[in-house]
Amino acid sequence: MNLFVTAEFLTTAVEKKQFPETSFPEFVMAGRSNVGKSSLINALTHQKALAYVGKRPGKTRYINFYQIQERLMLVDVPGYGYAQRSRSEMIQYGKMMDDYFELRKVNGVMLVIDCRHGLTEDDEDMREFVESKKLPLLIVATKSDKLNHSKRLAIKKELSETYKQDVILFSSLNKSGLEEIENWCKKYI
Ligand SMILES: Nc1nc2c(ncn2[C@@H]2O[C@H](COP(=O)(O)OP(=O)(O)OP(=O)(O)O)[C@@H](O)[C@H]2O)c(=O)[nH]1
Ligand SMILES: [Mg+2]
């Protein structure tokens, strides 16, 4: 059975007191705005509109928790690098993310990047942060439908060699890579 089917929206949190009182293993999507984190959640849960997907960046503003029975949690967080945020929003965002990683039982982090752009400076910071917390990290290079087969192979090789990290190419349009991502998660439950 697919790991994340039967997922249901549980709650949205702006600050730590709104975090749910669950302690199931959580997998969280981190990444820049507009790379496709919410689309990845929809693909993993086999639902069309569980997480809100938008054409413009900055669609996910808060931390959204999706619960899978009494077992698991998928967590969608706002993307970083979204320029339209005010200074106070940026501070609130940083605090919310720090609290998230401090307080939750995170079993794995998916660092979602656009396969055409590689890791930005913000992504590098996130990668180092996750490494410092000794959490399992998977680089999900999404929008792979935008590249041809040989480009996809070359990018996967380059990312794996550069970061010595698990890398999966993914497309929320044709769902390639979906099973691989699920299998990665299964290793860390
Ligand atoms: N071609 C293609 N487009 C995608 C893919 N994944 C997401 N998109 C598109 O990219 C845009 C952003 O997708 P989202 O899933 O909302 O991105 P996000 O990372 O959640 O964005 P924020 O919530 O702003 O942080 C939407 O227009 C999606 O349809 C993909 O694999 N291939
Ligand atoms: Mg989103």
CATH of the domain at 123: 3.40.50.300
CA pair distance 131, 129, nearest whole angstrom: 5
Residue owning tokens 């609290």: 99
Predicted confidence band of residue 82 (pLDDT cuts 50, 70, 90): low
Q: Are strands 166-169 and 137-142 parallel, antiparallel or unpaired?
A: parallel
What's the confidence (pLDDT) of residue 93? 82
Domain tally, the chain: 1
- Residue 154: domain span: 7-187
Is residue 163 included in any domain, yes or no? Answer: yes
Is residue 102 included in any domain, yes or no? Answer: yes
39 lines ligand 1 (CB under 6 A): yes
Query: Is the model's pLDDT at 57 over the cut of 80?
Result: no
Pocket test for ligand 1, best of 12, 32, 33, 34 (most atoms within 8 A of CB): 34
Is residue 181 included in any domain, yes or no? Answer: yes
Three-point CA angle 47, 139, 17, nearest 5°: 65
Number of residues that this document lists for the chain: 189
Query: Is the model's pLDDT at 41 over the cut of 80?
Result: yes
3-class DSSP assignment, residue 57? coil
Predicted confidence band of residue 2 (pLDDT cuts 50, 70, 90): confident
For residues 147 and 92, which has the higher predicted lDDT (pLDDT)?
147
What's the confidence (pLDDT) of residue 83? 60
Is residue 2 included in any domain, yes or no? Answer: no
Is residue 143 included in any domain, yes or no? Answer: yes
Predicted confidence band of residue 86 (pLDDT cuts 50, 70, 90): confident
CA pair distance 95, 32, nearest whole angstrom: 17
Is residue 39 included in any domain, yes or no? Answer: yes
Is residue 23 included in any domain, yes or no? Answer: yes
What's the confidence (pLDDT) of residue 78? 84
Is residue 69 included in any domain, yes or no? Answer: yes
Locate the ligand 1 atom nearest the alpha carbon of residue 57 and give its number: 24
Per-residue pLDDT, averaged over 155-174, amounts to 96
Per-residue pLDDT, averaged over 68-93, amounts to 83
45 lines ligand 1 (CB under 6 A): no
Token duo for residue 78: 């706002």
